[in-house]
Amino acid sequence: MPLHHHRHHHAAAASIAVAVADDDEAKPRRPYSSTFASPRAPISSSSASTHRLLLLFSLTCLLIAAASLAFAFSASRRRPPPPSAAGAETAAVAFRCGRAEDTLRAFLASSPRRNESAAGREKVLAVVGVHTEIGSAARRAALRATWFPPNPEGIFGTWNWFVVGRTKDKEKMADLQKEVDMYHDFLFIDAEDDTKPPQKMLAYFKAAYDMFEADFYVKADDAIYLRPDRLAALLAKDRLHHRTYIGCMKKGPVVNDPNLKWYESSWELLGNEYFSHASGLLYAVSSEVAGSLAAAKNDSLRMFDYEDVTVGSWMLAMNVKHEDNRAMCDSTCTPTSIAVWDNSCNPAEIVKQLHNTTLCSKSPTLPPEVEEDE
C-alpha cells in the first residue's frame, strides 16, 4: 500500500478518536453514590459529595439540638400551680355544678381561714333545701329567726340551704347578693328564678347530688315551721329499701277546666285522679333516687304543671318505696310533728308565732313514751 495512504488512515483515526473523546465529554454522566463511585468518576468529586453529606447531617443535628433546648426552656417556665390554687380547683368542683353554687362553701374556699368542708363531696345524713324566691326575703328572715340553723353545716347531720334561682334583673340580684354576703346560706341552682317549679326541682337534685354524698335529699317549702331534729331522727332510721320516697302522701281530682284553680294542662295523660304523691311542703328522696334524677337529661323526664305531681310521676317510673308520714304536714304543733303549715296569707308571721309556742319549739325531739320504747 502506498505510504501516503497509510498516513491518511492514521490522521483519520486520530480525528475520529478526538471526535469521540469530545463527544463523550459532552454527554451527561449518570450520577453515582459516594459509596459506590464509578471508576470513571474523579476522586475529588466523591470527596466533595461526602463532605456535603456530612455538612448536611451536622446542620440537621444542630437544628434538633436547638429545638430541644427551646422546648426545655419553655417547659421550665411552666411552673406548677401552688398548693392553694390546686386546692381551689378541687373545691370548685365540690361547691359548684355548672351555674349552681353553694354560697357557704364558696365563701369558705375564698376565706384565708379556709375550712376543709369547702373541698370534696362531703358526706352528710341529709341535704335540706328550702325552696324560696328572690323576693321572699321576709320569709327567709322569719325562718332564720326561728328554726333555720344559724350555721348551715353540721346541724343534726344535715346541711341546710335556701335554694334559689337567678334573675336578669340587676337590682334584684344586687339586693339578694347583700343577703348572700351576710349569711352565706344559699344554693344558687342552674335555673332562672321564674323557671317553672318542676324544672327548678330537677336542677336542685342535680346540684345537691353533685355537691354532697347524702343519705337523703330533702325539699322544704319556705312557708313551713320545721323541726330539724325530728326530721333528722326520721331520716336516720334503718330501712330495708334503698330507694325511698318519704312525705305526706295525698291524692286528688285532676282539674281539667282551665278556668279553675289547679288546672293541669296535661290532664288527658292523668285521668280523673292523681296518683299517690307527697305534698310539696316537705318530702325526701334517698340517695339512689336522687342519683337517678341527677343523671337524667333535662328533657327526658315528663314535666307536669305542678312540682309535687311531677316528682310523684318520676317516682312511679322507679322502683321506690312510698313512705307516708303524716307528721310531715301537721296543721298544728304536736309532740311528734315534724313540719307544721298554716294556710295563711302571711306565713312569716305564722312561723314566728309557732316558734313562740313551747310545744312547737321546746318540746323534746321524741315523746317520752317513744324514747322508752326505743
pLDDT confidence of residue 96:
55
Q: What pairing do the DSSP bridges indicate for beta strands 122-131 and 158-166?
A: parallel
Q: Is residue 25 part of a domain?
A: no
C-alpha cell at 95: 361547691
Q: What is the CATH number of the domain that holds 216?
A: 3.90.550
pTM, whole model, 2 decimals? 0.71
Q: Does residue 83 form part of some domain? A: no
12 within a domain of the structure (yes/no): no
Q: What does the pLDDT read at residue 33?
A: 40
Domain boundaries, position 339: 100-105+121-362
Counted domains in the chain: 1
Q: Are strands 186-192 and 100-102 parallel, antiparallel or unpaired?
A: antiparallel
| Position 165 in a domain | yes
Task: Give the pLDDT confidence score for residue 90 in this predicted structure.
Answer: 38
Q: Pick the closest to residue 134 from 202, 194, 205 (CA basis).
A: 194
Indicate the pairing of strand 158-166 with strand 225-226.
unpaired
How many whole angstroms from its chain centre is CA 312? 25
The answer to the question of residue 369 being in a domain is no
pLDDT of residue 152: 72
pLDDT value of position 167:
94
Tell me, what's the pLDDT at 311?
A: 98
Mean pLDDT per 10-residue interval, the chain, length 374 residues: 44 40 44 40 54 68 66 50 40 53 65 50 94 96 96 82 95 96 94 93 96 97 97 96 96 96 96 96 98 91 96 95 97 96 90 96 85 51
Q: Residue 39: what pLDDT?
A: 42
Torsional sign, CA 251, 347, 228, 339: negative
Q: Which of 317, 306, 320 is nearest to 244 (CA)?
A: 320
Is 18 contained in some domain? no
Residue 34 pLDDT: 40
Distances (CA, A) of 327 to 117, 223, 259, 282, 334: 32, 16, 33, 10, 9
Q: Which residues of 249-288 are buried (b: 16+ CB within 10 A; e: fewer)?
A: beeeebeeeeeeeeebeebeebeeebeebbbbbbbbbbbe
**pLDDT value of position 45:** 54
In a domain, 113, yes or no: no
Nearest to 124 by CA among 236, 12, 6: 236
Grid coordinates given for 126: 341529709
E-state strands within the chain? 96-97, 100-102, 122-131, 158-166, 186-192, 212-221, 225-226, 244-250, 277-286, 321-324, 339-340
